[in-house]
Each structure stands twice: as C-alpha cells, then as structure tokens.
C-alpha cells in the first residue's frame, strides 16, 4: 500500500538523508587519513616516548654524550614528557657520595684514611674496609664496588651478600663494606698493588649488575679473572663520562701491598 507524506515530512526526510550522506563521507575521509598516517610509520605527533627510549639505551651503553643530547632535545619540545624530565634529573642532578677506607693495622687502633686519594702501605697482617656515605643523595642510588688484589684476583664487594646484606638501590644512608667488622679485607701474601673501583649512580647500570652477579658466583679462578677484565673494560667507559653527567660518580683507591717475605728471605734476616 502506498505511503503519502506531507510537505513537512518530505523536507524532514530530505534533511536526514543529506546528513547521513555527509556523515558517511566524513567517516570515509577520516579512515583514509588514518590509513595514510599508519603507512608513514611512527606518528610524528608523539616523538617523546621514542626519544626517551633512545636516551635510556644510550645511557645503558655508556654513550653519555648521546644520552645527554637526546634529553636536551626532549626538554626543548613544547610538551615535555615526564620520562624525559626524569632522565634529565638522573643525569644532571648532583651526586656527592663520600667513600673512605679504614685500616686496622696489626696491634694498632683503627685508622681512617684522609680519602681515596691516599695510597697507604699495607702488609698481609693488616686489615681494611670501606665506608660509603650516601646521606647527601637526593634519592636512592646504585652502588658498585670491585676490588682487584696484588695477586690479580677480582672480588665484588657490592652488590654481594657475602659482604653486605643490602641490595641496590641503596637509600641515602651510611654503609660499611664488608658490613661485619670481623670480616675485614686482608691483602694477600703476594706483594704488589691493591686497587678498588667505585661507581655510584642514580640509575641502574645493567652491565655492571650482571658482571657483579657472575663474578660473585664464579668458583674458577681463571674464569673469575676473565670476568674481571670484562668489568675493567666496562669501568673504563664509566670513568670516561663527560663533565655534564653529574648523577654518576666514579673513584678508585690504591694501596701498596708489601707482601710477606718467603721463608728463605726470612731466614737471611
């Protein structure tokens, strides 16, 4: 049966039809634009997450100049991402840890070194330990301490539960390595140089963390020395950091080990 419409109804239906056509065209245009953008690769409207990721990767690879430049590029962007600001703070906020060795010489009271720059003479009868003061840090830090003795053997002092129960990151406080006063370090009988390396940062250094874990559990002396060379290679990158990186502090301590004379030498004297 045929339907009859008034003039008003016909106009209404015409308006609805035109609106439907306009809406369909708009949806099609939007779909075409989205498809074109997807084919162009990552959106140029949100570069900051990718920029932050690249900065983190550069920092983890100890490419600190590149990391700093990427962060500065992100800070110049009109809409700074929180991740970029956090990276900027970690890289450039000042960090001043105080690390000092203490000596327990045979039949003498404990003596504190004036600082890491001192180079005392120790014997295998002497003992030593370190105190790490992070009280001035703005937030928790990651600490890495390695020791290579005069015999060429490497030891992880931190992080390693054998020398301290704490784990990274460390809260702003004072710590002792080794933590137990009865577990002080001793130079071996072999004469030569004792050397410790210290790295403190506002961020986790994955390469050092992994090497420390491997070295702490290695039972073979030969493999431990090979791991020590890998540690030294990575430490050289940290020690070569640019001046603009204030959230990373490195240092060394050296001691001359007089060693223990052999039985033949002792008999001569």
Whether residue 230 sits in one domain with residue 116:
yes
Whether residue 176 sits in one domain with residue 58:
no
* pLDDT tens-digit readout, 71-91: 998 888 766 678 888 899 999
Number of domains in the chain: 2
Predicted pLDDT of residue 95: 93
* pLDDT tens-digit readout, 90-101: 999 999 999 998
The CB density around residue 84, as the number of other CB atoms within 10 Å, is 23
Whether residue 172 sits in one domain with residue 70:
no
* pLDDT tens-digit readout, 193-245: 999 999 999 999 999 999 999 999 999 999 999 999 999 999 999 999 998 99
The pTM is what? 0.76
- Alpha-carbon span 142 to 144, nearest angstrom: 7
Look up the domain containing 203 and give its range.
Answer: 98-263
- Alpha-carbon span 24 to 110, nearest angstrom: 85
Bond preceding residue 178 cis, omega within 30 of 0: yes
Whether residue 112 sits in one domain with residue 63:
no
Local structure of residue 106 (DSSP, 8 states): T
pLDDT over threshold 80, residue 27? no
Determine, yes or no, domain membership for 10: no
Contact 121, 258 (CB under 8 A): yes
Determine, yes or no, domain membership for 8: no
243-253 per-residue burial string, b: 16 or more CB within 10 A, e: under 16: eebebbbebeb
* pLDDT tens-digit readout, 106-123: 644 455 555 555 667 888
- pLDDT interval class at 167 (50, 70, 90): very high
Predicted pLDDT of residue 137: 92
Determine, yes or no, domain membership for 24: no
Output the CA–CA distances (angstroms, integers) from residue 33 to 5, 22, 41, in the order listed. Answer: 40, 17, 13
Phi, psi of 54 (to 5 degrees): -65, -35
Whether residue 121 sits in one domain with residue 232:
yes
Average pLDDT, the chain: 82
Determine, yes or no, domain membership for 256: yes
* pLDDT tens-digit readout, 128-158: 899 999 998 999 999 999 999 999 999 999 9
Whether residue 225 sits in one domain with residue 106:
yes
pLDDT over threshold 50, residue 40? no
Q: Which residue has the higher pLDDT, 268 or 97?
A: 97
Whether residue 170 sits in one domain with residue 72:
no
Whether residue 227 sits in one domain with residue 130:
yes
Predicted pLDDT of residue 104: 82
Whether residue 193 sits in one domain with residue 218:
yes
Predicted pLDDT of residue 70: 92
Determine, yes or no, domain membership for 180: yes
Contact 247, 91 (CB under 8 A): yes
Contact 216, 162 (CB under 8 A): yes
């Amino acid at each position: 049966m045929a339907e009859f419409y008034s003039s008003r109804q016909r106009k209404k239906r015409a308006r609805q039809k035109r609106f439907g056509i306009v809406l369909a065209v708009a949806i099609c245009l939007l779909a075409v634009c989205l498809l074109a953008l997807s084919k162009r690769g990552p959106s140029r409207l949100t570069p900051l997450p990718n920029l932050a990721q690249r900065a983190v990767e550069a920092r983890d690879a100890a490419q600190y100049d590149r990391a700093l430049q990427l962060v500065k590029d992100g800070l110049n962007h009109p809409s700074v991402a929180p991740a970029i600001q956090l990276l900027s703070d970690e890289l450039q906020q000042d960090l001043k840890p105080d690390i000092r060795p203490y000596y327990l010489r045979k039949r003498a009271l404990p003596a504190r070194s004036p600082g890491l720059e001192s180079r005392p003479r120790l014997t295998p009868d002497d003992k030593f330990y370190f105190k790490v003061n992070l009280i001035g840090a703005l937030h928790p830090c990651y600490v890495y301490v390695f020791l290579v003795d005069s015999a060429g053997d490497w030891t992880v002092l931190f992080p390693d539960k054998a020398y301290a129960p704490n784990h990274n990151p460390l809260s702003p406080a004072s710590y002792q390595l080794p933590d137990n006063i009865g577990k002080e370090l001793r130079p071996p009988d072999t004469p030569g140089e004792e050397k410790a390396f210290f790295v403190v940062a506002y961020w986790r250094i994955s390469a050092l963390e992994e090497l420390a874990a491997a070295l702490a559990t290695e039972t073979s002396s030969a493999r431990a020395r090979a791991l020590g060379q890998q540690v030294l290679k990575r430490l050289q990158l940290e020690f070569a950091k640019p001046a603009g990186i204030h959230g990373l502090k490195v240092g060394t301590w050296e001691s001359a080990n007089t060693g223990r004379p052999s039985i033949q030498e002792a008999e001569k004297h």
